[in-house]
Amino acid sequence: MLHHLDFIELAHYADDSRGIRFLKDLDTRIGGRHVLLADAVIDTGMTMHYLVRSLTIRSPASLQITTLFERPYRRLVEDLPVRYVGFTIPDEFFVGYGFELDGRYRNLPDLRLVR
């Protein structure tokens, strides 16, 4: 079985009507392939929902979602098929472990609550 890793970058415009757009699309065709989308955090689900709809029209054999953190109580999309969840986290702001605030704290080896 051949595995492939690819990246997508999306931009979300919360303050205007253009919605979401691709900044970087897949370099690989996904038709007939099993696809696992990985995201760090899923909150409202709006961006992931847009991505799932955009990729479904490319006819993957399957399309599943995994996330390290989720906040299901903030979800605005009911039919988002999040298959694998690392942790459900509270509605608070965290930094560290790759998450940043104003370009800082991304390199912390653990998650820390910003108060």
The fold of 9-113 is: Rossmann fold (3.40.50)
Active-site residue, selected from the candidate residues 25, 43, 91, 110: 43
- Residue 95 β-bridge partners: 112
d(Cα 37, Cα 42) in Å, to the nearest integer?
12
Residue 9: the pLDDT is 93
Residue spans per domain, the chain: 9-113
Nearest partner of 47 among 21, 83, 72, judged by Cα: 21
Place of tokens 């595995």: 3
% pLDDT > 70, the chain: 94
Residue 19: the pLDDT is 82
Residue 68: the pLDDT is 93
- Indicate if 91 belongs to the active site: no
Residue 115: the pLDDT is 84
